[in-house]
Chain A
Amino acid sequence: MNRETRFATASDLPPMAVSRSDTTANKTGSWRYLRPVIREKLAPCRHACPAGTDLPRVLRMIGEGRWREAHQLILEENPLPGVCGRVCYRPCETACNRRHFDEAASIQALERFVADVCFDLPPEAAQPQRRKERIAIIGTGPAGLSCAYFLAREGFPVTMIEAASKPGGMLRTGIPRYRLPRRVLDREIGNIARLGVQILLDCRVGEQVTLQQLQQAFEAIFVATGAHRSVSLDLPGGNRAKIMPGLEFLKLVNAGQPPEIGKEVLVIGGGNTAMDAARAALRLRSRPLVAYRRSRAEMPAVPDEVEQAESEGVAFQFLASPLRLRKRNGRIEVEMIRMELGEMDSSGRPRPVSVPGSEFTLIVDSVLEAVGEGSELADLAQGLLVSEKGSQVLSEKESLQFLEAGGLLVGGDAATGAGTVVEAIASGKRAARQIVSRFSREREVVRPAEEPGTGIPFSDLHLETFTRSPRKDPPHRSVAERIARFTEVVGPLDAAAAVAEARRCFSCGVCNQCDNCWVFCPEGAVSRGADGYRLNLDYCKGCGICVQECPGGVISLVQEGQ
């Protein structure tokens, strides 16, 4: 107001104090000592995802019916959403902040939903190969596929070399169809091939081609040969009895040539291979019994797999270990011994200790041994890899130095021993980034999943606008339907359920344009645009209401001058 304005008489004044115009001239000035900043944080789901998929934004798009965009956004970080939407161990859901409110969001089912919805859409067009450096990738499992995908998107000519007659590695040989239908796998591998990636099948390094030949023809080689070598307990009598590695059994089953295993099948081991082998045997009309030397709590298998196996009728014998086998009358006598849990061992689990005098005998028709898998790397590389690090993950710096020295880059299970699909995808992506870095000298960007911390905590969220609602799990086929054939166990969410489930997402640390800050700012200092919100600090008083109203904790208060 003009300071010259004076009211000569009381009757000049309105009844109450009211300004003569709007208050845009009335700026905050210098007395604000706290200032809101819009600063996105890392969501715990994204942090937990080895592939670093931008899940809050993916879920927002699903919730808004923007399924194609959601699919594209997943593909920025992960070339295999249809696969991970089915077989991933879901670290995102374990980390989901909604777990502390009611139940974690059904993220895996949503990833599968978009992959299924977009299944018939045309894939990305072939990328122009603008880079001259030729890259070879040995192995077409998830690590190799991921590396090939990210390199092809960068314009590198990529050649994949696969010993088997079909690509996919462990995805095809190890994972049964009832968990991963082959049309899904074929489609997603096909999409990668359509980017211009060449895949040579029935080509084993050391047989059809030598490593030295590859080294001469390619500027960089990524070794992602997986962990296909089964570990054996070498039980006495095992060479004469009918005993088969679980992985070998699965390979035959998945190739459509199941071996004769008889009625009673003993599966030794407590990991995912043991679960897959037991459930596959069940579908071949056998009666599997899983024997594991520790208790249920120590099983390395994903709990979902254990529960499903149990519900389908797989029998379990915990705290039991085989001692020796004997062939008798066409069947196998397995001498077992009971175990108890002892001191913690180096893996952080209690060591199983046999109980003297507790031997007992099982009579079965076949034995499937699934006690771990190792890498075949030593056979292949023959000293060409950094020998002392051959079975370990190299640091980024080490692998870059190694690449520059003309060595091989190794990733996936081949580097770490048997791991998970999504870790292999992450490893392939990391290798691709290192290769890009090697040839472009661009600085690497730290990926979300590699940032320190655990993502924005539950206590930083403001959830007054959320109400409790149960998680929507995808439907499961009945047990009778499941074990009759190898049809997929888990069904899809329908569109309405997917949209509703996606809207349960708190969007931790990520602005989802909910409008709360814009609605609640008492100063009108928040403006809304297509790409988000802007804070007009000329009018902001630093009251912090926007901070308290921001569900995802995107807006923070900082002290002025910081």
Chain B
Amino acid sequence: MTTLSAQAKVMTGNHAVSHGALLSRVQVISAYPITPQTQVVERLGRFCEEGRLEARFIRVESEHSAMAALVGAATAGARTFTATSSQGLALMHEMLHWAAGARLPIVMANVNRALGPPWSVWTDQNDSLSQRDTGWMQIYCESNQEVLDSLIQAYRVAEKVSLPVMLVLDAFVLSHTAEPVSLPNQETVDCYLPPYQPEWKLDIADPRSFSGLTTPDTYMEFRFKMQEAMERALEEFEAADAEFQALFERRYGLVEAYRCEDAELILVTSSTATSTARVVIDELREQGRPIGLLKIRLFRPFPARQVLEALSTARKVAVLDRNIGFGAGGIFAQEVKAALYNHLQIPVFGFVAGLGGRDITPAVLREVIDYATDHAQPEDLVWIGGKP
């Protein structure tokens, strides 16, 4: 899939994030350390100290303050970056709404880590998915190369539509696992990602107040414009991905359909479970079973049309969720069902697996596929890989 160039380096997912921020020439970084994210900003701190990155690194006492600092910096027209995880992201919640409502193209890496209690440092998606309705775009990454490339793409789209982006990667499976990563040439990245020049910004020569009180006469229009920007972002992601391919010969899509031709059952995954699923699908295809795979990369804005197109030939869908919307079910499953309803009447099975860092093994995925194959209609939410 990835051709390694001469600049390829072996690096962890965390350091792929750091290099992505370096190549994007971020100008203000503010972060608070939290496992398993800390290496991201440690490396960026070193880049700043070494002079490789001309950025202001603002140390703060909490994630809430980190995001607040970036809100200020981005309002003043700076390209801004932070990284966090789990509890840190939860603490940021108020400021996430602020960043999106103020239409600031902040990019943040969130290393998926299960929320406590009980305390955990291992991966699942509940932290980022809990921020679903804050107005942040969300990209879920499968590999370290995708992490680095998506970060550069994220700034491109964020600055086009004036909304923030959360780049999401699995704790340890990506964050602390080293893979070869091809580093794009800086000059080419500079062509792809020109300096951020916002139309509206804080300027002491032309003082204005941002994000002040609005009456019922205008508030709704600002929300309408955010939704409009989200819809436009789908096209901008497509365009950004296409141009990225032209310059760097790599493309990811908003979703990726893998061996979905003639598939009767399509497994839907996100993040690193996708890589395991590719192996399982290949095995099952060799056995002659008509199973396909759909990877959802972009979660917000949700690429409903692309999902519908990819699933249009299937008779059944099995959605694997490494998260749980308590009282409802897996969150990706809900999103897929919503995308299909009104258009396609096929059974959608929802499975929850891999919470709190429990491994999603090929056996887990085979169990998901066998269950969906053997059952005509979905019943309750199905937990896979749990203790009996």
Please list the residues of chain A having a beta carbon within 8 angstroms of any beta carbon in chain B. 6-7, 10, 13-23, 26
Top 7 A-B residue pairs of the complex, sorted by shortest distance between their CB atoms: A22-B207, A19-B209, A16-B103, A10-B221, A23-B209, A15-B103, A19-B208
Please list the residues of chain B having a beta carbon within 8 angstroms of any beta carbon in chain A. 101-103, 162, 199-200, 207-212, 214, 217-218, 221-222, 224-225, 229
- Let me know if B210 and A18 touch, CB within 8 A: yes
Given A10-B225, A15-B222, 9 other A-B contacts at CB below 8 A?
A7-B218, A10-B224, A13-B225, A14-B200, A15-B103, A15-B225, A17-B214, A19-B212, A21-B208
Q: B residues within 8 A CB of A22?
A: 207-209
- Let me know if A13 and B222 touch, CB within 8 A: yes
Tell me whether chain B's interface is mostly helix, strand or loop, or mixed: loop
- Let me know if A16 and B207 touch, CB within 8 A: no
- What distance in Å separates the Cβ of A5 from its nearest Cβ neighbour in chain B? 9
30 cross-chain CB contacts under 8 A: A7-B217, A7-B218, A10-B221, A13-B221, A15-B162, A15-B199, A15-B200, A15-B222, A15-B225, A16-B101, A16-B103, A16-B162, A16-B200, A16-B211, A16-B222, A17-B102, A17-B210, A17-B214, A17-B218, A18-B200, A18-B208, A18-B209, A18-B210, A19-B210, A20-B208, A21-B207, A22-B207, A23-B207, A23-B208, A23-B212
- Let me know if A16 and B210 touch, CB within 8 A: yes
A-B contact count (CB 8 A): 55
**Cα–Cα distance between A7 and B218 once the two chains are bound (Å):** 8
- What distance in Å separates the Cβ of A521 from its nearest Cβ neighbour in chain B? 15
**Cα–Cα distance between A13 and B223 once the two chains are bound (Å):** 11
Q: Which of these, B103, B200, B209, B229, contacts A26 with CB under 8 Å?
A: B209
**Cα–Cα distance between A7 and B200 once the two chains are bound (Å):** 18
Q: A residues within 8 A CB of B101?
A: 16
Contacts A22-B207, A22-B208, A23-B207 known; A17 to B222 CB distance under 8 Å? yes
Q: B residues within 8 A CB of A23?
A: 207-209, 212
- What distance in Å separates the Cβ of B174 from its nearest Cβ neighbour in chain A? 33
- What distance in Å separates the Cβ of A7 from its nearest Cβ neighbour in chain B? 6
**Cα–Cα distance between A20 and B221 once the two chains are bound (Å):** 17
- What distance in Å separates the Cβ of B85 from its nearest Cβ neighbour in chain A? 28
Q: Which of these, A6, A14, A17, contacts B212 with CB under 8 Å?
A: A17
- What distance in Å separates the Cβ of B141 from its nearest Cβ neighbour in chain A? 28
Q: Which of B103, B209, B221 has the most CB of A within 10 A?
A: B209
- Let me know if A17 and B211 touch, CB within 8 A: yes
Q: B residues within 8 A CB of A18?
A: 200, 208-211
Q: A residues within 8 A CB of B210?
A: 16-19
- What distance in Å separates the Cβ of A96 from its nearest Cβ neighbour in chain B? 30
**Cα–Cα distance between A22 and B207 once the two chains are bound (Å):** 5
- Let me know if A6 and B209 touch, CB within 8 A: no
Contacts A18-B210, A20-B208, A23-B209 known; A7 to B221 CB distance under 8 Å? yes
**Cα–Cα distance between A553 and B109 once the two chains are bound (Å):** 41
Residue of B nearest to A26 (CB): B209
- What distance in Å separates the Cβ of A13 from its nearest Cβ neighbour in chain B? 5
Residue of B nearest to A19 (CB): B209
- Let me know if A16 and B102 touch, CB within 8 A: yes
**Cα–Cα distance between A16 and B199 once the two chains are bound (Å):** 11
- What distance in Å separates the Cβ of A3 from its nearest Cβ neighbour in chain B? 10
Q: B residues within 8 A CB of A15?
A: 103, 162, 199-200, 222, 225, 229
- What distance in Å separates the Cβ of B150 from its nearest Cβ neighbour in chain A? 24
- What distance in Å separates the Cβ of A519 from its nearest Cβ neighbour in chain B? 15
Q: B residues within 8 A CB of A14?
A: 199-200
Q: A residues within 8 A CB of B218?
A: 7, 13, 17
Q: A residues within 8 A CB of B221?
A: 7, 10, 13
- What distance in Å separates the Cβ of A24 from its nearest Cβ neighbour in chain B? 8
**Cα–Cα distance between A14 and B229 once the two chains are bound (Å):** 13
Q: A residues within 8 A CB of B103?
A: 15-16
- What distance in Å separates the Cβ of B212 from its nearest Cβ neighbour in chain A? 6
**Cα–Cα distance between A13 and B228 once the two chains are bound (Å):** 13
Contacts A15-B225, A16-B101, A18-B200 known; A6 to B217 CB distance under 8 Å? yes
**Cα–Cα distance between A24 and B355 once the two chains are bound (Å):** 53
